[in-house]
């Protein structure tokens, strides 16, 4: 699109614009059919339409000033109360609605950095997070200048809690556990972490961005899960996303705290600004009313029964998926996932899992890649139950195809991923990714072609494919 078209001289009729808008979506992932295993938590057209109506009713409303839109403040209070109920919070539990999981994670780091500074004078803050913590925690570390100390994984890919105590020092401002962690779907040992956190009087945040609106319902359905919420002494705050398993519209998450004393350190107050006395509870200024309304509407519409039903269907899809993968020779489930997500890798050295991923892509599935160890990822929802068997059949075929032609490991995205995951020069990977990624942000620039770039969520560039090809050729020459 030319710069001229990007802002037409004369406005276009609404119909024409809407038609164009819809046509732009034609090349987007077809999440409606259950072929996408990340990014979107979709149920059906009816629920989507319901969310759209709720969103549209408050699309222009602004939660910036909670005194102005009393409706939005009410939605926020009730959403926080619902989250607190599910998390077994007490009468002191408090919290705010945020724009998503990342904002909730960033806020926890800011809160605990400021708490440690105010109460213990900590000037060079550190936080301890398992290696499997979501990338949002790495971002928070960079943004807020809180040094990351990585808790290693044990042989089962669980956060190795036996190493935790020795990593705590007087600079430690917080410890993190996840329920579940994004890469492999296991719940970190929160009870053991909580006991250590309490002993050292260090806050423990639980990242339940994925699990917050499904684990409680799985438990209600009779599934035995390790404890991860406020029932665990030592847990001081929890993030839980509505726009994932809460099946709300995009732009809604929560962060709750055990008490107001903690939450106060999240808040910002300016008393001397010429624009007036200003108070803000979270990162954003203007806060989107539509997202709050849709999140509140989803909670009201599903209720406990509805969410339990969604959780039951998700658990069934998860169980079928796990046993189907385990029954496929050459594949293994990574770690010990509790649901709703899982990851799998290759069980024998001759089978390249990224090449299997390429075959799955070719069959129309959209699956994320993992590294350390190499793997494929599936964020399973109720929507996947009807397609699990098709997925597993295609997966068996994909494995057979890759076994029959091992050169597939040196082609396509498999080569890129192999290189990115195994190249020891992480700085080279970082600088190539950064330059390609930044380049796609030129005004009017073409969208990043993720297919060509060969990386779903980390956005790696085609340049890396050339680098990968050279790397693979070099390895072959040496072999």
Tell me the two tokens of residue 184. 């492999």
Please tell me whether residue 319 adopts helix, strand or coil conformation.
Answer: helix
Q: Provide the pairing of β-strand 278-280 with 268-270.
A: antiparallel
Rounded distance between C-alpha atoms, residue 90 and residue 425, angstroms: 49
User: Residue 76 and residue 81: Cα distance in Å, rounded?
Assistant: 9
Which of 55, 182 has the CB closer to ligand PLP? 182
Closer by beta carbon to ligand PLP, 112 or else 471: 112
Q: Which residues contact 250 (CB under 8 A, 6 or more apart)?
A: 100, 243, 291
DSSP letter (8 states) at residue 446: P
Q: Which residues in 51-110 contact ligand PLP (CB under 6 A)?
A: 100-102, 105
> Alpha-carbon dihedral of residues 428, 432, 433, 438, nearest 10 degrees?
140
Please identify which residue in 153, 176, 202, 210 interacts with ligand PLP, judged by CB under 6 A. 210
Q: How far, in Å, CA of 204 to CA of 198, rounded? A: 8
Q: Which of 76, 114, 188, 207 binds ligand PLP (CB under 6 A)?
A: 207
With contacts defined by CB under 6 A, how many residues of the chain interact with ligand PLP?
13
> CB under 8 Å to 253, separation ≥6 — which residues?
97, 98, 99, 100, 101, 103, 104, 209, 239, 240, 241, 242, 243
Strand partners, 204: 175, 235
Q: In this chain, which stretch among 147-155, 206-214, 258-266, 318-326 interacts with ligand PLP, using CB under 6 A? A: 206-214
Taking the least distance from each CB to ligand PLP, the nearer of 69 and 228 is 228
**CB of 467 vs ligand PLP, minimal distance in Å:** 27
Taking the complex as a whole, the smallest distance from the CB of residue 81 to ligand PLP amounts, in Å, to: 21
**Rounded-to-integer distance, Cα 347 and Cα 291, Å:** 43
What value does the CA radius of gyration of the chain take, rounded to a whole number of Å? 23
| Nearer of residues 283 and 463 to ligand PLP, judged by Cβ | 283
Least gap, CB of 348 to ligand PLP (angstroms): 29
How far apart CA 127 and CA 125 sit, in angstroms, is 7
| Closest residue to ligand PLP: CB criterion | 101
Q: Give the binding range for ligand PLP (CB under 6 A) out of 203-211, 262-270, 367-375, 445-453.
A: 203-211
Question: Binding segment for ligand PLP among 41-49, 52-60, 207-215, 388-396 (CB under 6 A)?
Answer: 207-215
Examine residue 182 and tell whether it contacts ligand PLP (CB under 6 A). yes
Which range touches ligand PLP (CB under 6 A), out of 205-213, 328-336, 403-411, 430-438? 205-213
Residue 158 binds ligand PLP, judged by CB under 6 A: no
Which is nearer to ligand PLP, 194 or 246 (by Cβ)? Answer: 246
**Angle 198-207-176 (CA atoms, 0-180°, nearest 5)?**
40
Nearer to ligand PLP, 210 or 356 (CB): 210
Measured CA angle at 40 (ends 35, 46), to 5 deg: 90
Q: Does 202 bind ligand PLP (CB under 6 A)?
A: no
Give me the least distance between CB of 237 and ligand PLP, in Å please: 13
**Binding track, positions 223-242, relative to ligand PLP; x by CB under 6 A:** ------------------x-
Interacting residues toward ligand PLP by CB under 6 A: 100-102, 105, 134, 136, 178, 182, 207, 209-210, 241, 253
């Amino acid at each position: 699109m030319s710069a001229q078209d990007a802002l037409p001289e004369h406005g276009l009729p609404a119909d024409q614009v809407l038609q164009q808008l819809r046509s732009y979506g034609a090349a987007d992932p077809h999440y409606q059919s259950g072929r996408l295993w990340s990014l979107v938590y979709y149920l059906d057209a009816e629920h989507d339409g319901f969310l759209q109506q709720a969103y549209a009713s408050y699309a222009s409303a602004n939660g910036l000033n909670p005194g102005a839109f009393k409706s939005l403040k009410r939605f926020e209070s009730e959403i926080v109360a619902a989250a607190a109920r599910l998390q077994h919070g007490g009468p002191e539990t408090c919290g705010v609605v945020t724009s998503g999981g990342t904002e909730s994670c960033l806020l926890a780091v800011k809160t605990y950095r400021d708490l440690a500074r105010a109460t213990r004078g900590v000037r060079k803050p550190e936080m301890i997070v398992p290696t499997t913590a979501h990338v949002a925690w790495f971002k928070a570390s960079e943004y807020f200048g809180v040094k990351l100390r990585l808790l290693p994984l044990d042989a089962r890919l669980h956060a190795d809690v036996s190493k935790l105590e020795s990593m705590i020092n007087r600079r430690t401002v917080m410890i993190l556990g996840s329920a579940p962690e994004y890469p492999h779907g296991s719940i970190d040992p929160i009870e053991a972490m909580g006991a250590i956190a309490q002993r050292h009087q260090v806050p423990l945040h639980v990242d339940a961005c994925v699990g917050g609106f499904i684990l409680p319902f799985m438990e209600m359905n009779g599934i035995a899960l390790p404890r991860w919420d406020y029932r665990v002494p030592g847990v001081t705050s929890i993030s839980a996303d509505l726009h994932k398993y809460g099946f709300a519209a995009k732009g809604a998450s929560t962060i709750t705290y055990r008490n107001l004393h903690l939450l106060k350190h999240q808040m910002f107050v300016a008393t001397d600004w010429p624009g007036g006395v200003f108070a803000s509870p979270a990162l954003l200024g203007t806060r989107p009313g539509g997202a709050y309304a849709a999140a509140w509407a989803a909670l009201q519409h599903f209720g406990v029964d509805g969410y339990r039903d969604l959780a039951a269907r998700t658990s069934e899809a998860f169980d079928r998926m796990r046993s189907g993968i385990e029954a496929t020779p050459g594949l293994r489930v990574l770690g010990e996932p509790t649901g709703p997500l899982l990851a799998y890798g290759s069980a024998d050295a001759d089978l390249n899992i990224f090449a299997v991923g390429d075959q799955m892509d070719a069959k129309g599935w959209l699956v994320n890649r993992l590294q350390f160890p190499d793997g494929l990822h599936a964020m399973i929802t109720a929507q996947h139950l009807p397609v699990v068997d098709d997925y597993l059949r295609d997966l068996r075929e994909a494995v057979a195809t890759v076994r029959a032609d091992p050169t597939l490991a040196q082609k396509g995205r498999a080569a890129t991923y192999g290189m990115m995951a195994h190249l020891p020069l992480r700085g080279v990977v970082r600088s190539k990714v950064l330059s390609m990624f930044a380049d796609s942000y030129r005004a009017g620039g073409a969208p990043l072609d993720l297919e060509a770039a060969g990386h779903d969520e980390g956005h790696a560039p085609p340049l890396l494919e050339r680098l990968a090809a050279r790397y693979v050729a070099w390895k072959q020459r040496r072999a």
